[in-house]
Structure 1
Amino acid sequence: MKITVVKRILLAVVIIYLPLQSMAWGTNGHRISGQIADSYLNAKARAAIKAILGNESIAMTSNWADFIKSDPQYNYLYNWHFVNFDKEYSYPEMQAFLKQDTSVDAYTKINFLVGELKKKNLTKSNKLLALRMLIHMVEDIHQPMHTGHLADKGGNDIKLTWFNNPTNLHSIWDSQLIDFQQLSYTEYVNWINYTTPAQRSEWQKAPVSQWLFESNQLAAKIYAGVKDGDKVNVYKYNFEYIGILNNQLVKGGVRLAGLLNQIFGA
């Protein structure tokens, strides 16, 4: 009887723990990129998205894909949040890898969802699910550790100490570095959302393979900056990496807007 109870507890822990492995950007990170995306929508895309989401903003809906991980019926979405690589890739290597990619991952499913949302006969419920997931996943892959190593679960197995608290490399990039700024998501957007038309055009013209390549290159830099067991000098780490993090939040939002404009606003 006692063994059965212990097994149930362990199973519950595993169920709770596994979804955490695929989280990217914490709540504020997703809302920041979502709010930035909203600021660059064209009128036609804005109207189409409102017809699907109703009164829920892009910023708020961008966390739905993480919130529903507690519902077993959505377990099939687990692998949609990331693409793991075994090393730092050159761009030709990245393109070759993705050309052969038939796995269930963020790359294949972003392409799938774009195709779904362009269909005229997609049901309302499927359209809502597709839009929510696409918003979240485009933001996800701009968090560099979501293109990290399969062997360490995108940095989840690299254990670190942050202000004397145990954490891991993935969690630092999900939320702790963002939370260190002590800003609401709207304050954060007001701080970093400054782009030129030329920047937006360049970022939005890049294919999804380029997005993944950039994140993979950044992941390599991030991996090189720590080793398992390190006690992070938070102030130094913030100084060295906050510019990279903020740039990725902005890029994710700008590219999401470009994709949504392409789907709904052309």
Structure 2
Amino acid sequence: MKPRPKRRAIATLLALAITAAAGSVQAWGDIGHRIVAELAWRQLDPAAKAEVQRLLATDGDDSLADIASWPDHLRNDPEHEALGKATGPLHYINFATNCRYDGPADASARNVVGGLEKYVAILGDRHRSNAERAEALKFVVHFVGDVHQPLHAGNRDDKGGNDYQVQFGGKGTNLHRVWDSQMLYTADLKWDAYADKLAAEGPVKLPRAKGDAYVQWAEESCSIVARPGFYPNGHKIDDAYVAKYLPVAETRLREAGKRLADLLDKTLD
């Protein structure tokens, strides 16, 4: 029997609480994924927005922001634990030191490039069921956010910065978590107000498109990780680091929002 929306909402909240208690780390964290989804929602054309709303209603969901972090919590949901394990490698990509992608740029790739290829194809297939396409929408929204988080496309053997310990605000943490959410929290804004702030900056200027789009997005992230100083000297995140890299993180959120909107327009119109 399909769970009712209220019961599903309760289950989702429990999953989020379990995840937080375990100290789990996801790309951008909930705040970043919600910002990306909200920025995309505001830029969708009317036809794509109507189709998104129709697909969201399949599971009783209300907005793109509400589903944006769903793939991160699958392993904490007994009903979807197997799906969470199967799709785990699709949240990131490991590069060599040169940040050049040399794998298959298609759905056979077991990384975020392949994840986008797979689920964009399902989302755009009108012969698929509404349930399949609604699930694909959740993955597409999430993976576009993931591929724009620099440490989900890194070039070091440290699990995307999870194994790189740092001091931030006088407390121990890791570099991945700093980029997930802790650096964004320094703006002292809730996700919707943060989306308002970034939207008020006007249209983001995207890098010139070249080759496979998903590969380009991943390589852009890797190039940020490869910058001198991205891994802080002395393993300490200070005010200067935040002042330098918070605008970079915000630009990636804006780019992700615009690209997600364009991708949904193209796939759903």
TM-score normalised per structure 1:
0.82
Work out whether residues 112 and 147 of structure 2, in 8 Å CA contact, stay in contact via their aligned partners in 1.
yes
Q: Mark the CA change 1:137 to 1:215 in structure 2 (over 3 Å): closer, same or farther.
A: same
How many residue pairs match? The answer is 242
How far has the Cα of 1:56 moved from its partner? 1.8
Question: In structure 2, how many angstroms separate the alpha carbons of the residues matched to 1:178 and 1:222?
Answer: 21
Match of 1:115 among 109, 112, 121: 121
How far has the Cα of 1:42 moved from its partner? 0.5
Rg larger for: 1
How far has the Cα of 1:20 moved from its partner? 3.6
Indicate the residue corresponding to 1:195 in structure 2.
202
Question: In structure 2, how many angstroms separate the alpha carbons of the residues matched to 1:150 and 1:24?
Answer: 17
Indicate the residue corresponding to 1:141 in structure 2.
147
Decide which structure has greater helix share. Answer: 1
- The answer for unaligned runs of 5 or more in structure 2 is 1-20
Task: Look up the equivalent residue of 1:257 and give its one-letter code.
Answer: A
Is 1:236 aligned to residue 240 of structure 2? yes
Q: Mark the CA change 1:205 to 1:59 in structure 2 (over 3 Å): closer, same or farther.
A: farther
Question: In structure 1, how many angstroms separate the alpha carbons of the residues matched to 2:254 and 2:210?
Answer: 12
- The answer for unaligned runs of 5 or more in structure 1 is 1-15
Task: Look up the equivalent residue of 1:252 and give its one-letter code.
Answer: A
Work out whether residues 105 and 114 of structure 2, in 8 Å CA contact, stay in contact via their aligned partners in 1.
no
Identity of aligned residues (%): 27
Q: Mark the CA change 1:43 to 1:203 in structure 2 (over 3 Å): closer, same or farther.
A: farther
Q: Could you say what the CA RMSD is over the residues aligned between the two structures, in angstroms?
A: 2.6
Task: Look up the equivalent residue of 2:90 and give its one-letter code.
Answer: W
Indicate the residue corresponding to 1:4 in structure 2.
none
How far has the Cα of 1:195 moved from its partner? 3.2
Is 1:80 aligned to residue 94 of structure 2? no
Task: Look up the equivalent residue of 1:84 and give its one-letter code.
Answer: N
Match of 2:37 among 22, 34, 40: 34
Question: In structure 2, how many angstroms separate the alpha carbons of the residues matched to 1:41 and 1:119?
Answer: 19
Deviation sequence 1:28-82 (CA, Å, 0-9, x none): 1111111000011001100101011024211111011112231322321111111
Q: Say which structure, 1 or 2, has more relative contact order (CA 8 Å, 6+ apart).
A: 1
How far has the Cα of 1:196 moved from its partner? 3.4
Is 1:24 aligned to residue 27 of structure 2? yes
Stretch deviating more after TM superposition (175-184 or 54-63): 54-63
